[in-house]
């Protein structure tokens, strides 16, 4: 897998569960087919949207293995590794590699907040030991770590990473990042609400939480930006504001899973400590569902 393979929509897949909290692989099959049919250029199971931290090691591997089997080579599968430290991250990465992953989306370590130099060494040693291409997963709101532009530039220069999922909501940071990297790696927006801004400033695709629910609509937004139709892309993006208000009213993926079920793709409940969305959020979801149906987004 190369940087040029990271292009377009890579939906962040929720993990389908049944009422007892067990994996629902039949629902996963529907989810994979729907997203590939909707134009997804790759699939990202087991990130934050996939509830990585709530699942057992065996369940994580089972989801990745089944996603790879279902994708059947049509698109690459790049699972998220959202482990706080090196030993667990390495064990997970080896298992995902053996399950057929094309690359890995590795989060920066959290709880023990590292230095910039420590993160560089962490990614370099991980790449050497696991042997798969890496997408740098930067999500400072969850990890407490803000990646310096120079850190990414150096990891890109020596080939440690081929891409980056950017969840930093500072648009100026993204612009500085794109300028420093000069296209050496694939920048992927990780923020649904900033996607068009990121794409206009150099993102070549996105790993988005709402994309598995609306894959074709997000693909159309991406295609408009790529064609230079910025006004059209912005207009489409603005129609998603009620969706964003609902999906991010509480911690992802609780609202996403409920909204997907109401739109006809049942992916089950969330795992503790997350709970079903509150009544206030359910009202926002009901409004968002009306908008999605009225605009024929799904």
Query: From start to end of 83-144, where are the E strands?
Result: 104-107, 134-138
Q: Is the peptide bond before 273 cis (omega within 30 degrees of 0)?
A: yes
End-to-end CA distance of the chain: 30
Strand duo 186-189 + 163-166: pairing: parallel
Catalytic-labelled residue, pool 137, 195, 217, 257: 137
- Find all residues with CB under 8 Å of 41, minimum gap 6, and list them: 7, 8, 9, 10, 75, 205
CA distance 166 to 126: 20
Residue/partner pairs of 236-243 with CB below 8 Å, 24 or more apart: 237/195, 237/196, 239/291, 239/295, 239/297, 240/192, 240/210, 240/214, 240/297, 242/284, 242/287, 242/288, 242/291, 243/210, 243/214, 243/288, 243/291, 243/292, 243/297
Nearest-10 Cα torsion for 10, 211, 61, 25: -130
49 is in an annotated binding site: yes
Size (the chain), residues: 298
Catalytic-labelled residue, pool 126, 165, 195, 257: 165
Active-site residue, 22 included: no
Q: Are 213 and 188 in contact (CB under 8 A)?
A: no
15 is in an annotated binding site: no
Active-site residue, 165 included: yes
CA distance 61 to 99: 7
Active centre residues (catalytic): 137, 165
Annotated binding site: 49, 207
Annotated binding site for pyruvate: 49, 207
């Amino acid at each position: 897998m190369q940087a040029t393979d990271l292009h377009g929509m890579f939906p962040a897949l929720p993990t389908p569960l049944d009422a007892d909290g067990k994996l629902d692989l039949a629902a996963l099959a529907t989810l994979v087919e729907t997203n590939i049919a909707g134009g997804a250029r790759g699939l990202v199971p087991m990130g934050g949207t996939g509830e990585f931290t709530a699942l057992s090691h065996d369940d994580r591997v089972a989801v990745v293995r089944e996603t790879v089997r279902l994708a059947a080579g049509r698109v690459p599968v790049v699972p998220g590794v959202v482990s706080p430290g090196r030993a667990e991250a390495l064990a997970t990465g080896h298992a995902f590699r053996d399950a057929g992953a094309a690359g890995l989306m590795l989060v920066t370590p959290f709880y023990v907040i590292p230095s910039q130099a420590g993160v560089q060494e962490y990614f370099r040693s991980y790449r050497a030991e696991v042997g798969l291409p890496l997408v740098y997963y930067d999500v400072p709101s969850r990890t407490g770590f803000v990646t310096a532009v120079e850190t990414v530039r150096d990891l890109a220069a020596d080939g440690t990473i081929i891409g980056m999922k950017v969840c930093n909501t500072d648009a100026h940071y993204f612009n500085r990042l794109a300028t420093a990297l000069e296209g050496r790696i694939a920048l992927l927006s990780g923020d649904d609400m900033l996607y068009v801004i990121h794409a206009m400033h150099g993102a070549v695709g996105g790993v988005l939480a709402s994309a598995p629910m609306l894959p074709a609509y997000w693909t159309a937004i991406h295609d408009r930006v790529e064609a230079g139709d910025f006004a059209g892309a912005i207009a489409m993006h603005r129609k998603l504001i009620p969706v964003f208000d609902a999906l991010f009213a509480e911690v992802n993926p609780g609202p996403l899973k409920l909204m997907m079920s109401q739109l006809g793709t049942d992916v089950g409940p969330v795992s503790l400590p997350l709970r079903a969305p509150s009544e206030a959020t359910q009202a926002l979801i009901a409004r968002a569902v009306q908008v999605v149906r009225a605009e024929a987004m799904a």
